[in-house]
């Protein structure tokens, strides 16, 4: 980041509002409604009954300077990714199912998680990239409070599957610098069949509107590295299952024609995908090119190109 950049959360730190948000988030763990599933579990006591199978401590699978992220995130120093275990989704084709469904990882205290954030900054990462954070909002906010008091000063990326509650996003207003949600499906019946959540399209679109309201279109510094804004990921599925045509229309018409979009072509059958014949093969080159054409037809031109970068 340039010397003039200041992440959003530092303003709330100095005013005391960041500490207030931490307290409010932890109150919601007692009868959890952090995600749209509203399971009501008392996660302060245990993970019993929690859809995300996560109790009071966040489970971290790994953290690193990641160079596989989008161009504006990885830059030349890497994106400081923290992969949280478990998930509030149940996608049958999840490529990280060992983490999201099997819970591989280690429970970390707030102090330990804050130390991870500081470590990633010291390693030269351009941002703190929270992967699958929806179910651990209180935990990463508590760690952020500690880390920001200790000198954290790089942008915070909320890297989510896109099934997020508006009430939880309100807790993040003025804290998250960069929102990076998935937009997985346009059809409720497909969302039900492949992720068990028929209201995903409605909830997802409402959440993306709120994210954009908070941070606007993606802005880059003079090195082309993201400092603030919205970045969308859309995985192109075989046989048109994702509903790409409707999704790009939504982004162009109801969010912004300047939306930064990563059309992803890396689908491959994983986890339980082979139980669904329509998911039993990789996306073809023709299907991916058609997705690119659909984006161009509605005026979306800010597509991630995965360019090589030098300092």
pLDDT tens per residue across span 95-121: 999 999 999 999 999 999 999 999 999
- Please determine, for residue 311, whether its predicted confidence score (pLDDT) is greater than 50: no
Nearest to 155 by CA among 194, 195, 196, 126: 126
**Whole-angstrom Cα distance, residue 185 to residue 88?**
16
pTM: 0.96
Nearest to 166 by CA among 188, 181, 148: 181
Q: pLDDT at position 305, please?
A: 83
Q: pLDDT at position 3, please?
A: 59
- What's the CATH class of domain 8-12+57-297? alpha beta
Rounded mean pLDDT, 58-80: 96
**Whole-angstrom Cα distance, residue 273 to residue 285?**
20
- Please determine, for residue 308, whether its predicted confidence score (pLDDT) is greater than 50: no
Q: What pLDDT band is residue 2 in, cutting at 50, 70 and 90?
A: low
- Please determine, for residue 1, whether its predicted confidence score (pLDDT) is greater than 70: no
pLDDT tens per residue across span 180-227: 999 999 999 999 999 999 999 999 999 999 999 999 999 999 999 999
pLDDT tens per residue across span 133-152: 999 999 999 999 999 999 99
Query: What are the two backbone dihedrals, phi and then psi, of residue 99, each rounded to the nearest 5 degrees?
Result: -90, -50
Q: Is the dihedral of CA 10, 13, 17, 18 positive or negative?
A: positive
Q: Give Cα separations from 134 to 58, 138, 222, 258, 299 (angstroms).
A: 11, 9, 31, 26, 30
- In the three-class reduction of DSSP (H, G, I as helix; E, B as strand; rest coil), residue 128 is classed as strand
Q: What pLDDT band is residue 236 in, cutting at 50, 70 and 90?
A: very high
Mean pLDDT estimate for the chain: 95
Q: pLDDT at position 4, please?
A: 77
- Please determine, for residue 307, whether its predicted confidence score (pLDDT) is greater than 60: no
Q: pLDDT at position 310, please?
A: 40
**Whole-angstrom Cα distance, residue 274 to residue 46?**
34
Rounded mean pLDDT, 275-303: 97
Q: Token digits for 159?
A: 């890297």
| Domain range summary for the chain, segments of one domain joined by + | 8-12+57-297
């Amino acid at each position: 980041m340039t010397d003039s950049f200041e992440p959003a959360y530092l303003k709330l730190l100095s005013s005391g509002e960041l500490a207030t948000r931490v307290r409010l988030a932890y109150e919601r763990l007692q009868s959890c409604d952090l995600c749209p599933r509203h399971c009501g579990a008392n996660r302060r006591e245990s993970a019993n009954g929690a859809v995300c199978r996560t109790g009071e401590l966040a489970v971290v699978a790994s953290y690193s300077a990641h160079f596989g992220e989008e161009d504006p995130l990885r830059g030349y120093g890497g994106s400081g990714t923290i992969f949280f275990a478990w998930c509030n989704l149940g996608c049958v084709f999840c490529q990280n199912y060992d983490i999201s469904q099997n819970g591989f990882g280690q429970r970390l205290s707030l102090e330990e998680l804050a130390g991870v954030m500081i470590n990633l900054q010291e390693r030269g990462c351009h941002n703190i990239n929270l992967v699958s954070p929806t179910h651990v909002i209180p935990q990463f906010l508590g760690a952020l409070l500690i880390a920001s008091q200790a000198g954290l000063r790089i942008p915070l990326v909320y890297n989510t599957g896109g099934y997020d509650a508006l009430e939880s996003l309100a807790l993040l207003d003025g804290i998250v610098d960069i929102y990076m949600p998935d937009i997985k499906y346009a059809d409720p019946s497909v969302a039900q069949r492949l992720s068990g959540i028929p209201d995903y399209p409605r909830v997802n679109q409402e959440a993306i509107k709120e994210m954009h309201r908070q941070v606007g279109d993606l802005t880059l510094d003079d090195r082309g590295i993201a400092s603030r804004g919205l970045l969308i990921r859309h995985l192109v599925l075989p046989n048109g299952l994702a509903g790409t045509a409707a999704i790009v229309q939504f982004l162009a018409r109801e969010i912004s024609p300047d939306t930064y979009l990563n059309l992803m072509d890396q689908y491959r059958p994983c986890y339980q995908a082979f139980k669904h014949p329509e998911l039993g093969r990789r996306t073809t080159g023709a299907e991916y090119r058609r997705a690119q054409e659909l984006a161009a037809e509605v005026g979306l031109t800010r597509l991630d190109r995965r360019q090589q970068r030098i300092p």
